[in-house]
Structures are given as structure tokens and as C-alpha cells.
Amino acid sequence: MFEIDNALIVRLLDLIGIGVFALSGALMAVRLRQTLVTAAFFALVTGVGGGSVRDLLIGAPVFWVQDGAIAAVCIAIALIVWLTPERWWAGQLLEWADAVGLAAYAVFGTAKALAWGVPPLPALMMGVITGCVGGTIRDILAGVPSIIMRPEVYVTAAALASGLFLLLQWLGTGTPVAAVAGAVAGFVLRGAAIHWSLALPTYRGQ
């Protein structure tokens, strides 16, 4: 009987998160008419930003410093975006790429935190940090309002992905099912927010 390798599923989520976040960073740079060097920098810091903060918080070696291929992939993605026609990247591709990265990376961040002995609730927070910080750094560097400072559903989608992953793990479904279900749920919620402009209520105190 075919069995899915737990480590493979988690690794795929890691690579998906890094790749699409790098894509979103490069897209932001080219939309701002920046140089190739700036696009590569945006791709790198967006791709590895959340994971770097997570690793520092849980006491793990910063992942991309240990694996030179990750920086190379981010730079290659930036080169592809910078050299291709703008019409290929039109529309809401940046937002949808960010949604994929948010969901995948939130689950991976939680899984890695658990593997390093972090309790479930802080592990959930590590998932949210992993999924959200890279995009926040990208927006700050670009000088645009960060998504986390708007009421639109974003952090909530990362929390859903991480929380569902933890819940299904606790219920004994196994890592592959929990990881895929969590990532899909987070992506669906974020996708719904993009499509229908879903937002949380803001503070209305007197």
C-alpha cells in the first residue's frame, strides 16, 4: 500500500510557501518599476522573512542560511518575473500568490515549531508569524499599507490553517491529511476574502 511520507508533505509546503512568497515579492518590485537587484532582494526577503523570524524565536538554525538553494530559487524567480512581459503577471496574481504562500507557510511553520518542542498554542503563533511576516516586510519595503493593518481577512486565514492542522493532528488524522486540510482551508478563506473583500469588524469604541 502506498504511504505518503510525512516529511515530504511538510517539505513541499515549505517550498511552496517560499516560492510563491518570493514570486509575490518580485511582482511587487516590478510593479514599482524597480531594478533586477531590487526585485531579487524583494523576492528573497519576502520568501524567507517569516521563516527567519520563526527560526530565531524557536531557537532553530535559520533555514535558508543552512540551505543555499533557497536563496538561489528566490533569485531565479525574480529573474523570471523581471524578464517576462508584464501582461503575464497582470490582475490579482500578487494577491493570489500571497494567499497560497500564507496558507502553506502557516502550516509548515506550525509543524516545524512542534518538531522543535514548542507547545501547541505557541506553535500556532509560530505558524501565523511564518505566514504573515514575509508579506509584511515586503509591503513595508515597498512603502504600501501592510495587509495586516487593514480589516481584510488575512491573519485570520493563517490562524485557521495552523489551528486546523493542530486540531486534526490532535484527532489523529496523521500529518499528511492535517497539513493538506489546514493549508486548503487557509487558502479558501483568504481566497474568499480576496474575491468578496471579506473583512473583520473594526473597533468602534467612543
In a domain, 1, yes or no: no
For the whole model, what pTM was predicted?
A: 0.90
- Which residues neighbour 15 within 8 Å (Cβ) at sequence distance 6 or greater? none
Q: Mean pLDDT across the stretch 107-124?
A: 96
Proportion of the chain above pLDDT 70, given as a percent: 97
Q: Mean pLDDT across the stretch 89-109?
A: 89
In a domain, 36, yes or no: yes
Counted domains in the chain: 1
In a domain, 151, yes or no: yes
Q: Residue 3 pLDDT > 50, yes or no?
A: no
Q: Mean pLDDT across the stretch 163-189?
A: 95
In a domain, 205, yes or no: no
In a domain, 203, yes or no: no
Compute, in degrees rounded to 10, the torsion defined by CA atoms 177, 71, 139, 183.
0
In a domain, 204, yes or no: no
In a domain, 90, yes or no: yes
Residues of the domain holding 137 = 6-196
